[in-house]
Amino acid sequence: MTEQARVRRFEQLAVPHLDAAYNLARWLTRNDADADDVVQEAFLRAFRFLDGFRGGSERAWLLTIVRHTCYSWLQQNRPAEVVAGYDLEAGDLDAASLDPSFRPPLAGPDPEIALLHQADEDLLNEMIAELPPQFREVVILRELEDLSYKEIAEIAAIPIGTVMSRLARARKALQRAWARRRTEEARHGV
């Protein structure tokens, strides 16, 4: 295959998933500039190993490379964060859950409602960013990138049951954090 043909094939396979790659890198690194660097490195790796792609989901293939690149970058630049995140997997993250009747306000023409909705979204984003990396990644891949459990398992190189377990733990951790924040706000009259 000529170099020009490789470039065209890469553009067809990888470039359509650039936003998803950046989104995953941004959530894992929690920094825009770091995410840019990680995605650039991941795309270089993907291009280098393009001949290794044998079919299947291009998105899953590329996000697997992005994920590995993120963890390599985190290990080099923030090793304590990667190690600390894994300690929490077996912890008490499957404890109490939030009131299931809660529904965030929908944004509408009313500016006050839109402001409340944005505040809730910002709070949720903060809470997701505080999750350990392995929980954060499954939430991002499932809820924001809308990948199937099978695709997430393929990307993270873990069994589907582990994907489901991590996702359940991450959701419960988010529910607890949300409930804790709302309780604090109620105590302070916010």
Instruction: For residue 116, give both structure tokens.
Output: 């409340």
* pTM for the model: 0.65
Cβ-contact 136, 28 below 8 angstroms: yes
User: How many residues in the chain?
Assistant: 190
Angle (deg, nearest 10), helices 160-187 and 149-156: 100
pLDDT, one tens digit per residue, over 134-150 is 899 999 999 889 899 99
Q: Domains of the chain, with CATH numbers?
A: 1-77 (1.10.1740.10), 89-190 (1.10.10.10)
Please state the separation of Cα 187 from the chain's center in Å: 32
Euclidean distance between CA atoms 50 and 36, whole angstroms: 20
Euclidean distance between CA atoms 143 and 76, whole angstroms: 28
CB under 8 Å to 56, separation ≥6 — which residues?
A: none
Would you place residue 86 in the very low, low, confident or very high pLDDT band (cuts 50, 70, 90)?
A: very low
**Residue closest to 155 by CA, chosen among 70, 91, 63, 36:** 63
Q: What separation in angstroms does the CA of 10 have from each of 13, 20, 51, 57, 187?
A: 5, 16, 10, 14, 55
Euclidean distance between CA atoms 43 and 105, whole angstroms: 39
Euclidean distance between CA atoms 65 and 117, whole angstroms: 34
Would you place residue 48 in the very low, low, confident or very high pLDDT band (cuts 50, 70, 90)?
A: very high
Would you place residue 87 in the very low, low, confident or very high pLDDT band (cuts 50, 70, 90)?
A: very low
Euclidean distance between CA atoms 89 and 60, whole angstroms: 24
